[in-house]
Amino acid sequence: MKSILISGCSTGIGRATALFFSAKGYRVFAGVRRSGDAESLRAADEAGNIEPVMLDVTSAEQRQAMADHLDGTLGDAGLDVLVNNAGVGKGAPLEFVDPEMVRQTFEVNVMGPLLLTQSLLPLVRKARGRIITVGSIGGKIAGPINGAYGMSKFAVEAFCDVLRAELAPQGIEVSLIEPGPIETPMLLGVPEMVEEVKATMPTEAMTLYGDQIRKVAGYFASLGKRASPPLEVARVIERAAESARPKTRYRVTVDAKIGVVLKWLLPDRAFDFVNDLQMR
């Protein structure tokens, strides 16, 4: 019975991935932050292979407790797959963004995968397993009003590139998943987040950036209508976990694939123009 640890399983991609791998017969350690989310996962787990574990990736105490638990449970067999999935995303114009919000975004989206990987790498090494990180197409294409999230996801790209090179001699494969629009609470909650930004920004910010904020809100609302289900990402994670020679990057959704091609083909200002047109 192969084992997999997935962070951020309360909702969205993490929850779908935990249930998907449980149905495949994996022993799933599903990181959640609330006891209610643990109970909800157990109730939905028809295969009965999920063990929820309390895991806030920013908590050193919870990371250590989880690593100790897995070490005692899995022993010399080690951990077959680590999926760094937990993430957050909020936006605001960079001129007025709350520095504490940026720090918190980096704590979860960048330091989270780094520190969780540090905690579990000895167990992954025992199994000669895989490390898979869920990034975002936002790590390739950065847009207005979404700076903190984009900055963090660009950093995740570098994290995976470096980790892959460092672990290659040890036979440990590292893959990065780059989803486009997915039906998750993060994406579907963008309109509410935008209203919060508008309510907390000073008058000057709305004068300078109000039009951009409204365009971005409308654009994300349209993305939500054509977003793909989280199960689509879970199936791609399966390929990264089980392929004999996994890809270094997997792009999920047509939007992500087209966006990367356009970013590669077009000069920066031409791409900015096309990106602005999409938001109108």
Residue with the two structure tokens 């939500």: 224
Specify if 174 maps to a domain. yes
Tell whether 267 is covered by a domain. no
Per the annotation, the verdict on 149 as an active-site residue is yes
Residue 276 forms part of a structural domain? no
Counted domains in the chain: 1
Evaluate whether residue 201 is within a structural domain.
no
pLDDT > 90 in the chain, percent = 82
Q: pLDDT tens for residues 213-272?
A: 888 888 888 888 889 999 999 999 999 999 999 999 999 999 999 999 999 999 999 999
Please tell me the predicted confidence (pLDDT) of residue 84.
98
Q: Which domain holds residue 142?
A: 3-183+229-261
Query: Within 13 A of 149's CA, how many CA atoms are on the CB side?
Result: 21
- The Cα–Cα gap between 139 and 162 comes to 15
pLDDT per position as a tens digit, 5-31: 999 999 999 999 999 999 999 999 999
- Residue type at 99? P
Q: How many helices (H) and strands (E) does the chain have?
A: 12, 7
Residue 19 lies in a domain: yes
- Dihedral angle at the C-alpha atoms of 226, 231, 235, 237, nearest 10 degrees? 100
Residue 115's domain is classified under what CATH number? 3.40.50.720
| Catalytic, out of 149, 209, 219, 250 | 149
With respect to residue 198, please indicate whether it lies within any of the assigned structural domains. no
Confidence of residue 96 (pLDDT cuts 50, 70, 90): very high
pLDDT > 80? residue 64: yes
Residues 6+ apart with CB under 8 A from 110: 152, 155, 156, 159
Question: Using one digit for the tens of pLDDT, what is the confidence trace for 176-207?
Answer: 999 999 998 888 777 788 788 888 889 999 99
Residue 219 lies in a domain: no
pTM score, whole prediction:
0.95
Residue 277 domain-assigned? no
